A and B are shown apart, each in its own frame.
Chain A
Amino acid sequence: MNTTLGSTAEYLDAVREALEDLPDDEVAEIVDDVAEHLDQVNAELGGSASKAALEQRLGTPEQYVAELRAAAGFPEPVARTTRSRSTQPVLRFLVTWGLRGAAGVAAVGLVLMFADGPPLAAPYLLGCAVGVIALGVWVFARRRVSEPMSSLRDLPDARRLERGLAEVIGTAWGSATVEFVLSLRPAWWLLRAWVATYLLMLALGGPPAFPVPRTAVGFAVLAATVIASVWLGRRAVHRPLSGWARRGQTAGNAALAVLTPAVLVLASYSESYWQFWYDEPYYESYPTGLYHQDGSVILNLYPYDQDGRLLEGVRIYDQDGRPVDSLEVWEWDDCIDAGGWYPGGPQGNVFPRPAVFYGADGQSRCVDPSDAAPFGPALPGGTLPGDNRTRGGPGVDDAATVEK
Chain B
Amino acid sequence: MDTSQLLKGVLDLAVLAVLRDSDGYGYDVVRRLRAAGLTEVGDASVYGTLRRLYRAGGLNTYVVPSDEGPHRKYYGLNDAGRNLLEQSTKTWRGFADAMTSLLENGAKEAA
Contacts and interface: CB of A to CB of B under 8 A. Distances in A.
Nearest to A44: B27
A36 B11 contact: no
A29 B51 contact: yes
Given A33-B26, A36-B72, A166 B66 contact: yes
Contacts of B47: 30, 33-34, 37, 68, 71-72
B67 interface: yes
Contact of A71 (B26, B44, B73): B44
Nearest to B67: A170
A36 B65 contact: no
B48 A67 contact: yes
Interface of B is mostly: helix
**For A33, A43, A64, A169, which residue has the most chain B Cβ atoms within 10 angstroms?**
A33
A71 B65 contact: no
A67 B72 contact: no
A387 interface: no
Contacts of B37: none
B52 A163 contact: no
A71 B11 contact: yes
Determine the main DSSP class of A at the interface with B.
helix
B62 to A, nearest CB: 12
B70 A58 contact: no
A33 B71 CA distance: 10
Contact of B48 (A68, A163, A167): A68
A71 B46 contact: yes
A35 interface: yes
Contacts of A43: 68-69
A72 B52 contact: yes
B45 A153 contact: no
Nearest to A64: B44
Given A26-B51, A72-B51, A169-B65, A59 B70 contact: no
A41 B43 CA distance: 10
Contacts of A29: 51, 54, 73
A170 B67 CA distance: 6
B70 A159 contact: yes
Size bin of chain A's contact surface: 20 to 34
B50 A36 contact: no
A59 B30 CA distance: 16
Interface in A259-299: none
Contacts of B11: 71
A115 interface: no
B42 interface: yes
A36 B43 contact: no
Contacts of A170: 65, 67
B44 A67 contact: yes
Contacts of B72: 36
A40 B68 CA distance: 9
Nearest to A159: B70
11 contacts: A26-B55, A29-B73, A36-B26, A36-B69, A36-B70, A36-B73, A40-B27, A41-B43, A64-B44, A67-B48, A163-B70
B57 to A, nearest CB: 14
B49 interface: yes
Contacts of A153: 70
Contacts of A258: none
A70 interface: yes
A66 to B, nearest CB: 8
Interface string B18-57: 0000000111000000000000001111111111101100
Contacts of B27: 36-37, 40-41
A71 B49 contact: yes
Residue of B25, B43, B45, B73 most packed against chain A (CB within 10 A): B43
B67 A167 contact: yes
Nearest to B53: A72
A32 interface: yes
B52 A73 contact: yes
Interface in A63-104: 63-65, 67-74
A55 interface: no
A334 interface: no
